[in-house]
Each structure stands twice: as structure tokens, then as C-alpha cells.
Amino acid sequence: MNLFADAFAWLFSPDRLTGPHPLPQAIAEHLFYTFVSVAIAAVIALPIGYLIGHTGKGRDVAVAIVGAGRAVPSFGLILLLVLVLGVLHKPAAAITAFVLLAIPSILSGAYTGIEAIDRATLDAGRAMGMTQWQVFRKIEFPLSLPLVMGGLRSAVLQVVATVTLAAYVGLGGLGFYIIQGVPLRRFDQILGGALAVVFLALVLDGLFALLQRMAVPRGVGAGKPHQSGAPRRTNKGVMEQNQDFAVETGT
Amino acid sequence: MLGLTQKSGIALAAFAGAAALALGGCSSSDPLAAPSPTNSSSSASGPIVIGSQAYYSNEIVAEIYAQALEAKGFTVERKFNIGQRDAYIPSLESGEIQLFPEYTGNLLQFYKPDTTATTAADVYAALQTALPAGLEVLDQSTATDQDSYNVTADFAAKYGLTSLSDLSKVDVPLTLGGAPELEDRPYGPTGLKSKYGVDVAFKATGDTTVEDLLAGTVNIANVYSADPRIQTDKLVTLSDPDGLFLASNVVPVVNSKIAGSVADVINAVSAALTPEGLVALNVQSTVDQKSTPDIAKAWLTANGLN
């Protein structure tokens, strides 16, 4: 018995298009919760992050919030919020938990993005008589974009993996296959659901990697290979590889 | 640009390698097979290892077994809060855990998913033949903790509901709430349709099933019959004249090697455990917030078993 073969057979069975939980619908629900949560988190975190980066004030507070936010256990938070808000507001409770999960990455992406800009570039802008708003719009915003996209990218990745928990409170998504499969001992369904989440995460991460590269303003990426943005990305690449090797040796 | 492409190439190769290894590893052996039985872990001289589910009511019964045995001079080791059936059955079969409070119907369904037995006596008899070699059940108690379908008192009064067959009189769409797996259980929506001719939609409400019923997002809820909330939230349990649910009495599952030595002590406990008694034990945990050892101790004292 090959579990992976069973899981793939389950994923690509024509039965996935019919029945009470069709796979396309589960993927749509999963993406819906992911994007709504990340979008709300971006609306909250980007302005705050830009403000912190631009003024340089409140950085310590932001670092503390980011650190604490990353330690919040999503599963407990979802169940707690469902009980606090009531069962009629399950989607709101789940999305709140996912928003809180997404905020730290986006916030740190925004303020580090602006902090990483060469001070001389900003001084040059000011010397040319730019207003604060022009400095932000013409220098800080475009130059911080790669790191901002990086923040969004890791937020999307974390949230798409965590939306699996939405099924625990009856909101569907790909997690449903997993939590229904465990008590029914349907290992093809469990692994199939898990592989679908992995696939979705890889696709979204690839998409955002592309966006991140496109976000580098023309003339910056090629001209300054050792600028603050570039080594960061290299480090991340190495980390990802290490993880892959760890998976390989662990198996 | 070139460096980046190379790096993603390496990452991709690493991923492919990991995937190939994982696939290869799985084809050679079954990772889900039960571990082979070991004789050393179930020697008669060592302590009796008692397990329990990750369910407070089950843990109370396990603690009662433990204290009853301790009172008779046995040494016991507690491995409580293990999780659900899938998680602990392998350890029970291997002899790692030797005594476990179980439920006749649910356990029978685990080994014989297509069983037709529904009454307490039939289920108990079927269970004795269904258990794998090395495991056996002692006497079952009269206490039951089984699936039951419940509606709110208002809903029951409005449509005059007392039994599952009355559900056909209801003229609003019915939605059944319960754990996600209920959807595919024999007693789930398909069973309601075949036994009682009732069409219901299903909603996975999991841990908030009673809250969902009270809030009206579902109008039928699957609640365990020993759940104190049936009383505290004034739910009406619909009777099951055609035997949709399997009777599920509390029953000790025991390793055959120690069955003889513990039978007298545990059977005395099972004889004293009544359905009302089990609900009362659960109330002490959920409403009175007493600790499991205290609840067990008080119950054993009240029944003269320690």
C-alpha cells in the first residue's frame, strides 16, 4: 500500500467534483479566508509600518508587538474567539485570528523596508525640496516595496497554512478533509487534503516571489547587488534550502 | 539574476529529492501498521497500565478503575488523556496499555464498521468476537454514553417531537450538527434517511455543537447521552425506536494476560456504575469543577469500593 499513491488517487478522483464537499469549493473557501485575512491585516499593518519607518518613532513598540504576535497560538485563539463572539460569528472569529497572525510579518516588512533605504537617498530628496509626503511617495514607497512584498509573502504563507484550522469551527476549507479523515481513518483523504494545502502554499509563495522580484524598481536591483534588499533575499534562499535538506534527512 | 535562478534550482532539486525519499520510504513499509506486540511490557509483575481518552468523562472512569485497583493492593500506572480511539488502540493491542474504559457500540463499530447489532446485549456479544486476540472485555456497566440526537425544548414543543420518527412532521429544513465525521457515520444523515425517512442537511459544528443548536444554526444536535448539558440547557433527546444508534455502554477493555487478576475489582465497579451515576460524575467535573481524583475517590467511597 502506497499512501502517496492513494492520496493522489483521492485528489484526482472524479468524486472530488461532486458530493457535499467538492475540492474546488474547498480550495475557494481556503483562498477566500487567506486573502480576506491578509488584505485586512495589510490595511491595518501597512500604514502603521510605514509611519514607524518614516518617522523612526515607535520602533521598540512595533518590535515588541511583532514578537508577541508571532507567539500567539492560532488554534486556541480561534476557539476562544468563537466562544467569546458566539457561534453566529464564526467567520469573524476565525478571520480575526488569521489577521492577528498576518499582522507581524506585514508590519515588520513595512518598517524594515523603509529603514533599509540608504539615508543619503532620503537626504538627497529632502535637499531637492521634497515635502514629507513626496519623500514617502517618491522614495520610501517604491524603494521599500521589495521588503513590503516579502512581508506580505510570508504573511500569506503563514495564513494559508493556518486556515486549515478554520475547519475545526465548521468553516470548511481544505482542513475539513483532514479533521474529518482522522476519526474515519481515511488516510488517503487526510494526506490528500494536506497535499492540497502544500500545493496551494507553494503556488502562492511562487506567485509572491515573482511579485517581490517585480517590485524592485528599475535600476535598483541590477545596480546594487549588495544593497540591503539583496543579501536578505539570499539569506532566505539559504534558509529554505536548509529546510529542504532537513526534510530530506529526516525522512 | 543568474544567482537567483541557480538557487531556486537547488531548492527545487532538494525538494524533489525529499519527495522521492518520502515516496520511496512509504512504498517499502506501512507506517500505520500497529507495532508488533512485545511480551516484556505486559509482564504480570509490573504495574497495570491504565489509559484513557482525551475526554473528561472517560478519564473519570479510568481514574475510578485506578483507585479501585490501588485500594486492593495493585500497582497502577496512569496514561491518561491519550486522544481518540485511533491514537490508543495500537498501544492497547501491543500490550503497552492494559486496561482502558471503552464504549461497547463505538468500539464495535471501530472493528466492525458494518455491524447490524444495536441493542446493548447484541452489541456486547458481537464485541466479544470482534476484539483481536489478546484483548477482552469484562462485564459491561449499565451506564451508557452514546450518540443521541437532541433538539431544543422550544423546537420539540412546537412540533410535538419525542422520537426521531416525529421529525418527518417538521415542515422547516432540518440541519444536523455534530463532529465532522458524523457526516459519514452509519447513524449520520444517511441513517436518518434510511431508518426514519428524514432528510437532513449536515453542518460540522465540532466542539460548539450545543452552542450552535441554542443559537439556531442547526436544529438537531448530536450530543453524547451522558453530557450534563442535555439537562443544564434543557435539550430534548429524541428517542430511537428503530435502533439507529448502537447501544454504547461503558465497558472495560483489558489485556487477556491480566484479565483474570483484575476482573473481580473492575466488575464490581462496572456493576455500581449506572447511567444516572455517570451523568452525576460528569456534572461534578463540568459544573462543580472538581478534580478527577477527588470525583473518583468520592464515588468509590459512596459505593463502598475502596
Per-residue pLDDT at A62 exceeds 80:
yes
Question: Of A2, A245, A251, which has the smallest distance from its Cβ to B27's Cβ?
Answer: A2
B21 pLDDT band, cuts 50/70/90, is very low
CB contact under 8 A, B215 and A87: yes
Inter-chain Cβ pairs, chain A and chain B, closer than 8 A: 94
Partner residues linked to B254 by β-bridges: B99, B136
More confident position, A165 or A72: A165
Q: How far is B72 from chain A (nearest CA, A)?
A: 36
Note whether A154 and A101 are within 8 A (CB).
no
Say which residue the cell 532539486 belongs to: B13
| Chain A contact present for B83, CB below 8 A | no
Using alpha carbons, select from B169, B155, B144, B166 the residue that is nearest to residue B235. Answer: B155
Best mutation target among A85, A184, A220 (most B Cβ atoms within 10 Å) is: A184
Q: Give contacts of A169 with chain B, Cβ < 8 Å.
A: 206-208
Using alpha carbons, select from B283, B264, B257, B251 the residue that is nearest to residue B68. Answer: B264
Question: Of A170, A247, A251, which has the smallest distance from its Cβ to B206's Cβ?
Answer: A170
Using alpha carbons, select from B21, B71, B42 the residue that is nearest to residue B259. Answer: B42
pLDDT (tens digit per residue) in A173-217: 999 999 999 888 889 999 999 999 999 999 999 999 999 999 888
Beta strands per DSSP E along B124-283: 135-137, 147-152, 175-178, 201-204, 220-224, 235-237, 250-255
Question: Among all residues of chain A, which has the CA nearest to that of B8?
Answer: A237
In the stretch 18-57 of chain B, residues with CB closer than 8 A to chain A read 18, 21-23, 25-27, 30-32
Note whether B182 and B222 are within 8 A (CB).
yes
| Chain B contact present for A182, CB below 8 A | yes
Q: Give contacts of A3 with chain B, Cβ < 8 Å.
A: 26, 31-32
Question: Among all residues of chain A, which has the CA nearest to that of B189?
Answer: A20
pLDDT at A245: 39
Query: Phi and psi dihedrals of B179, rounded to 5?
Result: -65, 155
Using alpha carbons, select from A152, A139, A154, A72 the residue that is nearest to residue A110. Answer: A152
List the single range of A14-18, A114-118, B32-36, B72-76 with lowest mean pLDDT.
B32-36
CB contact under 8 A, A245 and B14: yes
In the stretch 56-95 of chain A, residues with CB closer than 8 A to chain B read 79, 82-83, 86-88, 90
CB contact under 8 A, B181 and A169: no
Question: Mean pLDDT across the stretch B51-72?
Answer: 94
CB contact under 8 A, B208 and A233: no
Q: Give contacts of B8 with chain A, Cβ < 8 Å.
A: 237
pLDDT (tens digit per residue) in A121-156: 999 999 999 999 999 999 999 999 999 999 999 999
Using alpha carbons, select from B47, B68, B54, B117 the residue that is nearest to residue B271. Answer: B68
Using alpha carbons, select from A79, A210, A100, A232 the residue that is nearest to residue A159. Answer: A100
Q: Containing H/E element for B101?
A: strand B99-103
Structural domains of chain B, ranges and CATH numbers in brackets:
47-144+247-302 (3.40.190.10), 147-237 (3.40.190.120)
Using alpha carbons, select from B62, B54, B47, B50 the residue that is nearest to residue B295. Answer: B62
Question: Among all residues of chain B, which has the CA nearest to that of A4?
Answer: B23
pLDDT (tens digit per residue) in B134-167: 999 999 999 999 999 999 999 999 999 999 999 9
pLDDT at A244: 41
The C-alpha atoms of residue B299 and residue A38 are separated, in whole angstroms, by 52
pLDDT at A1: 62
